[in-house]
Amino acid sequence: MTLSAHAHKLSFFGTFEMPQFPSLSPARGPSMAVLALAAVATFAAGHPALADDPIPNLVGTWVGENKTISDKKGYKDWGTKTVLITEQQDRRFRGHFTYPAGTKNFFGIVHPDNKTFTWVASDSKGYNFGHILGPDRIAACYVEPGEEGTAGCADMTRQVAPQAAPQADPK
């Protein structure tokens, strides 16, 4: 008894008939693998590789309104947040920002999609995830789990003209 040739019983569905599919042998046409490969090749030809896209330059002074939510403080508007990204080498960057408790130094990376980035600080409990919205606009969102958990975002615009980001030596 083969699945494609006979009806089968399922205890709660009753009887059903398995559909008959034609074989995709070379005599009948290309295999599914060949069709899938052709589709991927067509897509790839129309979309340049990410490696060919220039890495966005994030160096500059970024300013925006910082809004958060947490169990302890509820919805909070912290006012203007200023972030300075002071240096960038290929996808890697570093900078700092000042807030009521002091100055926080951070370092980060632009993801290979050239649209998202992440930064961390050595003395922080959370992560900042960002999205590049345009040449001079980013969204930077902080997420921290735990008792002091909080989540917030700042939609930021670049205030200082971008400087040329030094690129790594292609040795």
Q: Which residue has the tokens 């995830």?
A: 129
Q: How far is residue 106's CA from residue 62's CA, in Å, rounded to a whole number?
A: 14
Domains in the chain with CATH codes: 8-47 (no CATH), 60-158 (2.40.160.90)
Cβ–Cβ under 8 Å, residues 9 and 18: no
Please write the tens of the pLDDT for every residue from 54-75. Answer: 999 999 999 999 999 999 999 9
What pTM was estimated for this model as a whole? 0.64
Tell me which of 1-10, 77-86, 120-129, 147-156 is least confident.
1-10
Taking phi first (over 0 means left), then psi (-120 to 50 degrees means alpha), and beta for anything else, what does residue 14 get? left
Please write the tens of the pLDDT for every residue from 107-143. Answer: 999 999 999 999 999 998 999 999 999 999 999 999 9
Please write the tens of the pLDDT for every residue from 1-42. Answer: 444 444 444 444 444 444 454 444 445 454 444 444 444 444
